[in-house]
Amino acid sequence: MVEPVIIAIASVMSWRPQWPECGLAWIEAFDSIPLLVIVEVMRDLDLFKEQSIARYLSMIIHNNLMKVLDPPPDPKPARKAYVYKCGPRKPKVGQALA
């Protein structure tokens, strides 16, 4: 492993200490993240200083691991629209009709 990868993983471990406690799931989650490829792309883009690659890589790792280890909850079912039981409202005296 290269230095930015090690620093980035250590940062993620400090942000989310519960993730490494997941054991094998934590390790398997990294299978879907091509760490060395990402670092090379970051270097090739020439947008990042060498000293900052680890910081931005840790954000990338965190976002990818969050999808696996902290998936979003299922969306709540849509609420039913309120239906007036008494029929349409009657206009008040003096109110203009639409």
Q: Is 66 exposed, middle or buried (0-12, 13-18, 19+ CB in 10 A)?
A: middle
Structure confidence by residue, pLDDT tens digits, 10-40: 999 999 999 899 889 989 999 989 999 999 9
Q: Is the dihedral of CA 47, 52, 55, 58 positive or negative?
A: positive
Looking at the predicted structure, is the pLDDT value of residue 82 above 70? no
Question: What is the pTM assigned to this prediction?
Answer: 0.68
Of the pLDDT bands very low, low, confident and very high (cuts 50, 70, 90), residue 76 is confident
Quote the tokens at residue 63.
Answer: 């976002």
Please give the helix or strand (H or E) that residue 56 lies within, else none: helix 53-69
The Cα 9–Cα 35 span in angstroms is 10
Give residue-wise pLDDT tens across range 55-74: 999 999 999 999 888 877 87
